[in-house]
């Protein structure tokens, strides 16, 4: 049994949510809840085992159908994959627990469970895939389940936001698929391992990479292609907002990193890296300013996501030079993806509790929240610490790595952006958290919109995630080691 699990592990990680999803649909609301919880619990040991195995044995390769690339499709697990699966699984568990309280037994939301399980499975499939065409199918799965979840409330604004998101997502996928077609035409394979050996920086190769990058940047909502994100993330039901900001945008980012740092590394494009870095920097500044100007809590959190996505893209210019700077940038960028996932999901879940309990999320009407909903206010505040990047949070470790990388590479201006972004984050976090712990305003009447105070599971799910983001800074070393397992040659400093 143990041997079988070890052998089938990469497939099992994908199959558990994908088996649960149709069952949750088939059996309806009551069972859907239980199936989702069982799937969430089963995924935990599998994700941990995956990480442990990767640390022990290095890269794992699973040949679906027994053919092996380039004829078949391989599932590939290295440190980066294992980290992303792990964070998806952890965030997924707490979002599931939260959603159990949030949606309750309401028949209206019975489609949440199968859609959420499909989304979860698709994310795992995406992180494990070693084939660029298979990644196209994964991207479509992720987008379609995410869009359907955004529109779940059937509220007018949510539907319009979902539509905008859908159009952007399909267009992004088409750009990506066009790039895949050109890659296959020029290099004769869609298997990443094979491609690594044969990609050349010729006309077709460059165009393919450019098209795929545009598509993925649109799907990741990097400035200035972020227009669809704030309405979609803020109008979705809060557990969905949490998943979208924490995990979904990182799916397309993950592919982008794989392509540039791993597969197409021989093409070495300092120009593209710089452009991505500049757009990332602009996103940090512009997104933070927009976040500060919002009147609604969920809009503020959504714009904060636009800003935080910017940090991820600083990875590209910082890894280009190789050496120690590249390793630090690699660790910093991925660590940021993890700590942001935990903190941002905590923020959205906390905002959702506020919305469900008080019937509004107007920031100026939330003063004194800490007396009415102390756990929720605390969760939001602690998540804010990570967002600002103060020690000892996970955000601090991530930013510290990035600053180190920029000093090591001699490109100090990226460090300046990181520091400025932290100050701006402090401004918008304090704008909300300050009043939370201040004088009470009249607007905090229990709206009784959805009957009764929020179940303790909802409040504590947000708090646990926020604490997780905070202590990540203290216990982060094993995670940093995991990130470096079988890292791409450019980052690991090995000359091939």
Partner 1 sequence: MGKVTAKSPIAVRVAALAICAGVGALLARAVLAIPETEPGLAPLVDANLAVSGVKNAVTAVLLNFRGYDTLLEIAVLVLATIGVLSLSVTQTGTWDPIAAQADPVLSALARFLAPVMILVSGYLLWAGEHAPGGAFQAGSVLGAAGVLLALSGYARPIWVSRFALRAAISVGFVVFLATAIGEMLAGGLLLEYPADLAKTLMLVVETWLTVSIGAILISLFIASASPAEELRRRSGGGE
Partner 2 sequence: MSQTDLYTLVGSALFVIGLYALMTRPHLLHKVLALNISSSGVFFVLVGIARRVGGPVPDPLPHAMVLTGIVVTVSSTAFALALAKRIYTETGTAALDAADVDVGESLGG
Q: Which residues bind partner 1 (CB under 8 A)?
A: 8, 11, 15, 18-19, 21-22, 25-26, 28, 62-67, 70-73, 111, 114-115, 118, 121-122, 125, 133-134, 137-138, 140-141, 144-145, 147-148, 151-152, 154, 178, 182, 184-189, 202-204, 206-208, 210-211
> Residue 55: which of partner 2, partner 1, none does it interact with, CB under 5 to 8 A by kind?
none
Residue 77 parent element (H or E): strand 73-77
Q: Which parts of this chain interact with partner 2 (CB under 8 A)? A: 102, 133, 137, 140, 144, 147-148, 151, 153-160, 162-164, 166-167, 170-171, 174, 177-178, 180-182, 184-185, 190, 237, 355-356, 359-361, 449-450
CB-based contacts of 49, cutoff 8 Å, min separation 6: 5, 6, 9
Q: Tell me whether residue 157 or residue 197 sits nearer to partner 2 (CB atom).
A: 157
CA nearest neighbour of 338 among 135, 146, 483: 483
CA–CA gap between residue 152 and residue 141 (Å, rounded): 17
Between 353 and 401, name the residue whose CB sits nearer to partner 2.
353
Closest residue by Cα to residue 252 from 153, 179, 169, 322 = 169
Contact partner, 8, from partner 1, partner 2, none, Cβ < 5-8 Å per class: partner 1
Q: How far is the CB of 36 from partner 1 (least distance, A)?
A: 14
User: What minimum distance in Å lies between the beta carbon of 97 and partner 1?
Assistant: 22
Q: Which tokens hold the place of 496?
A: 């091939």
**Closest CB to partner 2 among residues 256, 355:** 355
CB of 204 to partner 1, least distance (A): 5
CA dihedral 378, 88, 331, 483 (to 10 degrees): 130
Residues 6+ apart with CB under 8 A from 381: 433, 436, 437, 466
Identify which of residues 176 and 223 has a Cβ nearer to partner 2 in the complex: 176
Considering the complex, what minimum distance in angstroms separates the CB of residue 177 from partner 2?
A: 5
59, 78 in Cβ contact below 8 A?
Answer: yes
CB of 5 to partner 2, least distance (A): 30
Least distance (Å) from partner 1 to the CB of residue 213?
12
Q: Closer to partner 2 at the Cβ: 161 or 261?
A: 161
Q: Are 281 and 314 in contact (CB under 8 A)?
A: yes
Please report which helix (H) or strand (E) contains residue 433, including its range. helix 412-436
Instruction: Find the shortest distance in angstroms from Cβ 35 to partner 1.
Output: 13
For Cα atoms 320, 227, 264, give the angle at the middle one, nearest 5 degrees.
25
Residue 61's binding partner among partner 1, partner 2, none (Cβ under 5 to 8 angstroms by kind) is none
Q: How far apart (Å, rounded) are the C-alpha atoms in residues 439 and 447?
A: 20
| b/e code 407-424 from CB counts within 10 Å (16+ = b) | ebbebeebbebbeebbeb
Angle between helices 456-471 and 323-358 (to 10 degrees): 160
Q: Which is nearer to partner 1, 251 or 476 (CB)?
A: 251
Q: Which is nearer to partner 2, 145 or 308 (CB)?
A: 145
Could you give the dihedral angle defined by the CA atoms of residues 283, 286, 288 and 292, in that order, rounded to the nearest 10 degrees? Answer: -160
Q: Looking at beta carbons only, is 145 or 288 nearer to partner 1?
A: 145
Identify what 56 binds: partner 2, partner 1, none; CB under 5 to 8 Å per kind: none
208 binds, among partner 1, partner 2, none (CB under 5 to 8 A by kind): partner 1
- Indicate which of partner 2, partner 1, none lies near residue 155 (CB less than 5 to 8 Å, by partner kind): partner 2
Nearer to partner 1, 15 or 289 (CB): 15
Which of partner 1, partner 2, none sits in contact with 164, Cβ below 5 to 8 A by type?
partner 2
Concatenated DSSP letters of 354-393: HHHHHS--BGGG-TTHHHHSHHHHHHHHHHHHHHHT-TTS
Between CA 84 and CA 10 the distance in angstroms is 13
């Amino acid at each position: 049994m143990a041997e079988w699990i070890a052998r089938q592990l990469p497939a099992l990680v994908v199959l558990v949510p994908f088996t649960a999803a149709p069952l949750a649909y088939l059996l309806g609301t009551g069972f859907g809840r239980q199936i989702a919880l069982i799937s969430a619990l089963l995924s935990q040991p599998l994700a941990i085992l995956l990480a442990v195995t990767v640390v022990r044995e290095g890269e794992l390769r699973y040949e679906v159908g027994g053919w092996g690339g380039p004829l078949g499709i391989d599932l590939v697990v290295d440190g980066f994959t294992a980290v992303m699966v792990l964070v998806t699984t952890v965030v997924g568990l707490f979002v599931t627990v939260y959603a159990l309280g949030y949606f309750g037994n309401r028949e209206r939301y019975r489609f949440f469970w199968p859609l959420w399980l499909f989304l979860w499975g698709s994310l795992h499939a995406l992180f494990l895939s070693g084939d660029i065409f298979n990644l196209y199918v994964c991207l479509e799965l992720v987008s379609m389940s995410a869009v359907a979840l955004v529109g779940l409330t059937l509220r007018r604004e949510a539907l319009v936001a979902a539509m905008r998101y859908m159009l952007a997502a399909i267009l992004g996928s088409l750009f990506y698929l066009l790039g895949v077609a050109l890659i296959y035409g020029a290099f004769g394979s869609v298997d990443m391992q094979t491609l690594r050996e044969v990609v050349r920086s010729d006309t077709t190769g460059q165009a393919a990479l450019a098209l795929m990058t545009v598509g993925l940047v649109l799907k990741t909502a990097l400035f200035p292609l972020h227009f669809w994100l704030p309405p979609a993330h803020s109008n979705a039901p809060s557990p969905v907002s949490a998943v979208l900001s924490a995990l979904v945008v990182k799916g397309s980012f993950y592919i982008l990193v794989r392509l540039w740092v791993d597969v197409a590394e021989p093409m070495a494009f300092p120009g593209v890296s710089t452009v991505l870095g500049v757009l990332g920097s602009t996103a940090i500044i512009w997104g933070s300013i927009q976040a500060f100007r919002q009147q609604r809590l969920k809009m503020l959190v959504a714009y904060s996501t636009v800003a935080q996505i910017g940090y991820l893209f600083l990875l590209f210019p910082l890894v280009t030079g190789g050496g120690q700077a590249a390793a630090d940038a690699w660790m910093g960028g991925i660590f940021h993806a993890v700590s942001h996932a935990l903190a941002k999901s905590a923020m959205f879940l906390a905002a959702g509790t506020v919305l469900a309990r008080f019937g509004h999320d107007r920031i100026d009407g939330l003063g004194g929240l800490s007396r009415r909903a102390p756990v929720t206010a605390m969760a939001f505040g602690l998540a804010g610490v990570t967002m600002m990047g103060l020690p000892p949070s996970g955000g601090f470790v991530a930013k510290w790595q990035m600053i180190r990388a920029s000093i090591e590479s001699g490109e100090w201006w990226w460090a300046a952006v990181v520091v400025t972004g932290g100050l701006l984050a402090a401004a918008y976090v304090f704008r909300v958290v300050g009043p939370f712990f201040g004088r009470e305003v009249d607007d905090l009447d229990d709206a009784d919109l959805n009957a009764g105070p929020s179940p303790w599971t909802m409040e504590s799910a947000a708090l646990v995630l926020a604490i997780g983001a905070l202590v990540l800074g203290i216990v982060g070393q094993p995670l940093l080691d995991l990130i470096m397992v079988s890292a791409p040659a450019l980052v690991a400093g090995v000359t091939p």
